[in-house]
Structure 1
Amino acid sequence: MSAPTDPVHLIADDYVARLAEHEPDAAQAIGRSDGPDLPDLSPTWLQEKYALQGEVIARLDALAPATGDRALRSALRERMERERLLFDTGFTPRLVAGLATPIHLVRYAAEGLTLTPDAAGEALLRRVEAAPVATRQYIESLRWARENTRRFSGGGVAPVRQLDTLAAQVERWVETDWFGAIPVADHVDDAARQRLRDAADATNAALAELVAVLRDELRTVAPTVDGVGVAVYPRMAAAMLGADIDLGETYAWGWSELARLVARSRRLATELGGTGEDPVRAAAALLDADPLYRLDGIPAIRDWLRVRVAETTGALADAFDLPDAVDRVECVVSEASSGVVYYTPAPPDGSAPSRIVWTIPSGVPVAATWQEVTSVHHEGLPGHHLQFVVTASDPGLHPWQRHLCHIHGYAEGWAHYAEQLADNLGLVRDPAERLGLLLGQIWRTVRIVADIGLHTGWPVPEGALIPAQPWTPALAQELLERFALVEPALAGFEVDRYLGWPGQALAFRVGARLWTQARDAREVVDGEAFSLRRFHRDALALGPMGLDPLRERLLG
């Protein structure tokens, strides 16, 4: 699997081999075709994995100092400790939220796929057929966490808001027969179609059970307070970032940044023709109607996305060593949701390409490019897609780092760092696109102050951009709508997301700050010999890791 004589690689090999018995991504990462169809969501595996991570820490600590692959050792040691910490807070066992929870993994395993009369179609059928078992395993884990609530510093039941959010989501999946509506290609035989129908019916039944558990069992004992509190939050933030930060300093910096960015956006909006008390909103309305930035129809949106990604790729050669696989990305336009852009990396087995997806409101195939360019840089290049392809293409990295080491601060911090980098490299072409960049930065800065405030209970301070007052979810939503021009429905979802994933909201702008600080420190060390291209090459070559060990390796 990897370097046979390196003791750190051998420890990582053993860890991934154990994961591969329970998690499809791990099996794919080491080239196994006999892995499970869906992740094991049972409480038994939750506890076994926790113990396994403790074993990995003990084995790493037993090695002599500086033994083996030091980058992998730092990355693996930090992640095992942080993941166990998340378990100890109760976050992992009780995880219920409107985004990226265990039950979402079941849906994502089929999302965007079509039932075809080939091996890929058979694999899809097996995943849907496995969904009822995975759903009931998740139910068992939620019940186990509730029964063992005293074991966890943050409790064993998610707050009422998160239970209600997920219950409503899952209920919609059942009502719309989401699994039964998976597209079926021509020439798929009747037997396969019936298997899909039977599996969808069984999955709907299991999902209905989940809704009942969320509403009838857990809600009666769930906390009504959303924040995790000042004792738990710092540890969760550190786990999300892979770095320890001064929360008080970060909170103050967030408010300072928000004031700076809002003032800058107002000046730029005025230059773009915005007038009145809210020149940013006025300028946005003008730009949305400007034919230069307006796209009408799915083909026009898709073509623009493809051309912009291709042009960006060609413009990055001076700042990056680009792998050949960077061109293997599919640009997709979906009418399934509100207007956001997101990225899905290729699976470890390479069976599908990476995808940059632009979702637009169903029935309204109109989009404005000026505000989405920065999302393309974040999700595509030089953001998530570039980082993912560099990582996945490096045979010198252990499979665990290439495919399984997911750290929000590293990945989202890089992608947000890449937004500003794109402007510095001349990829943001005019003041309108720069306004879009600023609105994206304001959005991520509201996340900092809102996430810290809502979870710690710290109030809005005197002298901030808005009057001093206690935090509420409604206030956080108001700031997103007012300063970042986030649509109300999306702003509400955003706030629910912050409350369900404590600390994750810091990964973007605070993560980017840590990336920038590491680059600046490296520039001081290198002096006149500093090269941006070499910094990016060296940083990404280390592979995904917590931002504290990343800085240590870059400067060491």
Structure 2
Amino acid sequence: MSTSSTRRIADDYTAALAAHEPAAAQALGQHAAGRLPDYSPEWAVERRRLAERVAVDLAGAPGATGASGAPAPSGASEDPDLALRAALGERMRSEAELFDTGFSARLLAPLASPVHEIRESFDDVTVTDDEAGDDVIERLVAVPAALADLRRRLDWARAAGEEGRFSGTGVAAARQVRAVAGQVRSWIDPTGTDYFSRIARGGLASSRETRLERAGTDAGLAFAEFASYLDGELLAGAPEEDAVGEQVYAQTARSFLGTPIDLDDIYDFGWAELDRLVAQSRRLAAQVLGVAGEADVETASRALFADERYRVAGRDNIVGWLRDRFEWTLERVQGAFDLPGDVREVDIVVPTAATGVVYYTPGAPDGSTTGKIVWTVPEGEDSISTWHEVTSFHHEGVPGHHLEHTTNRANSGLHPWQRYLCEIHGYAEGWAHYSEQLSAELGLLRDPAEELGAVLGQVWRAVRIVADIGLHTGRPVRPNALGAEGPWTPELARRFLVELALVDPRTAGFEVDRYLGWPGQALAFKVGAKLWLDARADAEARGIPASHFHRSALGLGPMGLGPLRELLSTSAPEPR
């Protein structure tokens, strides 16, 4: 298959997306800052058909991809579009399969579902008295129609599920519907955030101010109606059962990871990692407390939370500490990576939320917004304990998501679809979790306290594996550090997070709801990191230094773990 034909297929696919999705339009250089994505059922169905057509086009050409998405290695060095063909072929098959489970159309969960995408498109924006401000107002005006389309899509999914058109259900579980309805109401509470009527503005002319006020009011009313629809009409048809079962779970996990997996093997791996990491956390706790052998992790944690050396209070001070840590980190990773020229262009945002979570949002493809590291402070608190969360900063920032995204976007050899639109959980979250583990090697953890925080983050991800698989497929709880027995329950999963990973109870509740709403996504972190670790070990065994491995591996661009594994093993880079 020639380079031109591969690119032509990718060009046509991206152009088709651009008519419905602003990010794709921006990736092609089109102005789309005033738009919201198309959440209609018509586009959902057409997108599924589009994925199938693209997969057929790729599979029917010379050099067609195999089951995992990667072409045969012969001629790999002669084909500059090998990675594009592998990534796009795998994604099209995975997207079609994920849609066929019902997940894509019915998606409602307390994180990263369409309703959150709509609200988050207004996070940390300021309406200015110019065309950029008009884009925000135009986007806000579009909220009621977007929510109406989303409601039609959810209704369509429910009917399709009842007709047996999906391998899973067509309605999200009742737990997810209730959670999202509650979140939406918290956004529009007139005694609290009143989110849409309080969007920041700067020196607006009266006409723009009037339009903004009207659009904010209409958006708030539309969200109120949507919340009523969720916990009224939609909830009435939502199943109380959270588990999706073995078949659907295998399908969704395969799509999120971009590779088939053996669930028994991954379950074994999760339990082995949990045992190893719990023991390591106890050894680090002993170092923190200045005793020999092992010590109680919770005791060490209480001492560290009370230690003023690790406490930063006040939003401005938190932002300052995070920015200083970011700059300090960049200085220490320069030898391990090729840092893009714009890697310092990132916003650090510290809002208040119901739970303290840290996440990364890439900038818009057209550069109208920059990437954001968002560090939320739980309601009622005004400080953070750095020892416990610095590993999350590495995950979301450098060497994690921010470095990955800026590296991709600086790589002019990648197709726009690869640079801006190709998102695979196993690749991205796997890299970010690998980065957490790499941080100790690179000297980014300053003392045993921060090392303990990093290991607790790994314990958290190990719990994700065993709890996620167990909750959805019915595999039993194995002998463990808590002495818990019997079947998995949401309450037991929360207990594992609180007592072994020291996750605060509110965040643990949010986490388990997330696992139940995104079956298989929780595997992406540790399973993805395992692939990066194994691939690097294989490269180093052949004399390839880590710095060259990182440069060459990231240079392939994002893709499913299946094609990534094959490309890294069959076309491994040679040291310079």
TM-score, scaled relative to structure 2: 0.92
The match for 2:465 is 448
- The match for 1:37 among 29, 35, 38 is 35
The match for 1:264 is 280
158 and 106 in structure 1: CA distance in 2 versus 1, 3 angstrom threshold:
same
In structure 1, C-alpha distance between the alignment counterparts of 2:263 and 2:149, rounded to whole Å? 36
Alignment map for 1:180-195 (pairs within 5 Å): 180-185=197-202, 187-195=203-211
The match for 1:126 is 138
Aligned-partner SS, 1:55: helix
Aligned-partner SS, 1:139: helix
Contact 1:125 1:195 in 2 (8 A): yes
Contact 1:322 1:390 in 2 (8 A): yes
The aligned amino acid for 2:61 is L
The match for 1:254 is 270
In structure 2, C-alpha distance between the alignment counterparts of 1:160 and 1:358, rounded to whole Å? 29
- The match for 2:324 among 299, 307, 310 is 307
Aligned-partner SS, 2:378: coil
220 and 546 in structure 1: CA distance in 2 versus 1, 3 angstrom threshold:
same
The match for 1:544 is 558
In structure 1, C-alpha distance between the alignment counterparts of 2:61 and 2:393, rounded to whole Å? 43
Deviation digits for residues 327-351 of structure 1 (CA, Å, limit 9, x no counterpart)? 1122232234533322121110111
Q: How far 1:143 moved relative to its partner?
A: 0.4
1:468 aligns with 2:485: yes
The match for 1:457 is 474
The match for 2:394 is 377
Q: Identity over aligned residues, as a percent?
A: 51
- The match for 1:479 among 473, 492, 496 is 496
The aligned amino acid for 2:287 is E
Aligned-partner SS, 1:166: helix
Q: Using the TM superposition, name which of 100-109 and 394-403 deviates more.
A: 100-109
- The match for 1:338 among 349, 355, 360 is 355
Q: How far 1:304 moved relative to its partner?
A: 1.4
The aligned amino acid for 2:545 is S
In structure 2, C-alpha distance between the alignment counterparts of 1:254 and 1:34, rounded to whole Å? 43
Q: How far 1:318 moved relative to its partner?
A: 1.3
The match for 1:163 is 177
1:215 aligns with 2:231: yes
Alignment map for 1:70-149 (pairs within 5 Å): 70-149=82-161
Aligned-partner SS, 2:112: coil
134 and 301 in structure 1: CA distance in 2 versus 1, 3 angstrom threshold:
same
Aligned-partner SS, 2:127: coil
The match for 1:22 is 20
The aligned amino acid for 2:82 is R
The aligned amino acid for 2:499 is R
463 and 445 in structure 1: CA distance in 2 versus 1, 3 angstrom threshold:
closer
Q: Using the TM superposition, name which of 540-549 and 332-341 deviates more.
A: 332-341
Q: How far 1:543 moved relative to its partner?
A: 0.2
Contact 1:453 1:460 in 2 (8 A): yes
Q: How far 1:213 moved relative to its partner?
A: 2.4
The aligned amino acid for 1:39 is P
In structure 2, C-alpha distance between the alignment counterparts of 1:5 and 1:247, rounded to whole Å? 37
Q: How far 1:429 moved relative to its partner?
A: 1.3
- The match for 1:59 among 47, 57, 60 is 57
Aligned-partner SS, 1:342: strand
172 and 35 in structure 1: CA distance in 2 versus 1, 3 angstrom threshold:
closer
Alignment map for 1:271-282 (pairs within 5 Å): 271-273=287-289, 279-282=296-299
In structure 1, C-alpha distance between the alignment counterparts of 2:545 and 2:327, rounded to whole Å? 25
Q: How far 1:260 moved relative to its partner?
A: 1.3
Contact 1:28 1:349 in 2 (8 A): yes
Q: How far 1:35 moved relative to its partner?
A: 7.2
253 and 466 in structure 1: CA distance in 2 versus 1, 3 angstrom threshold:
farther
Q: How far 1:363 moved relative to its partner?
A: 4.8
In structure 1, C-alpha distance between the alignment counterparts of 2:407 and 2:236, rounded to whole Å? 47
In structure 2, C-alpha distance between the alignment counterparts of 1:220 and 1:339, rounded to whole Å? 31
In structure 2, C-alpha distance between the alignment counterparts of 1:76 and 1:204, rounded to whole Å? 38
The match for 1:426 is 443
The match for 1:6 is 4
Q: How far 1:464 moved relative to its partner?
A: 7.0
The aligned amino acid for 1:439 is L
Is there any run of 5+ residues in structure 1 with no aligned partner, and where? none
In structure 2, C-alpha distance between the alignment counterparts of 1:372 and 1:153, rounded to whole Å? 39
Deviation digits for residues 7-28 of structure 1 (CA, Å, limit 9, x no counterpart)? 1110000000010000000000
497 and 294 in structure 1: CA distance in 2 versus 1, 3 angstrom threshold:
same
Q: How far 1:387 moved relative to its partner?
A: 0.5
The aligned amino acid for 1:42 is S
- The match for 2:365 among 342, 348, 351 is 348
The match for 2:528 is 511
Contact 1:97 1:500 in 2 (8 A): yes
Q: Using the TM superposition, name which of 205-214 and 129-138 deviates more.
A: 205-214
Q: Using the TM superposition, name which of 355-364 and 444-453 deviates more.
A: 355-364
The aligned amino acid for 2:23 is D
In structure 2, C-alpha distance between the alignment counterparts of 1:34 and 1:231, rounded to whole Å? 39
Q: How far 1:300 moved relative to its partner?
A: 2.3
The match for 1:294 is 311
The aligned amino acid for 2:569 is L
Contact 2:34 2:135 in 1 (8 A): no
1:204 aligns with 2:220: yes
Deviation digits for residues 272-325 of structure 1 (CA, Å, limit 9, x no counterpart)? 1289x9821111121122222121222322221111110111111111111111
The aligned amino acid for 2:345 is R
Deviation digits for residues 158-212 of structure 1 (CA, Å, limit 9, x no counterpart)? 1111111111111222324321121222x21222222122222222332233223
In structure 1, C-alpha distance between the alignment counterparts of 2:14 and 2:59, rounded to whole Å? 18
Contact 1:274 1:280 in 2 (8 A): no
The aligned amino acid for 2:197 is G
Contact 1:274 1:281 in 2 (8 A): no
Q: Using the TM superposition, name which of 115-124 and 87-96 deviates more.
A: 115-124
The aligned amino acid for 1:127 is R
1:389 aligns with 2:389: no
Aligned-partner SS, 1:308: helix
Contact 2:286 2:295 in 1 (8 A): no
The match for 1:531 is 545
In structure 2, C-alpha distance between the alignment counterparts of 1:116 and 1:474, rounded to whole Å? 47
In structure 2, C-alpha distance between the alignment counterparts of 1:263 and 1:475, rounded to whole Å? 20
- Structure 1 residue runs of 4+, over 6 Å off? none
In structure 1, C-alpha distance between the alignment counterparts of 2:224 and 2:480, rounded to whole Å? 49
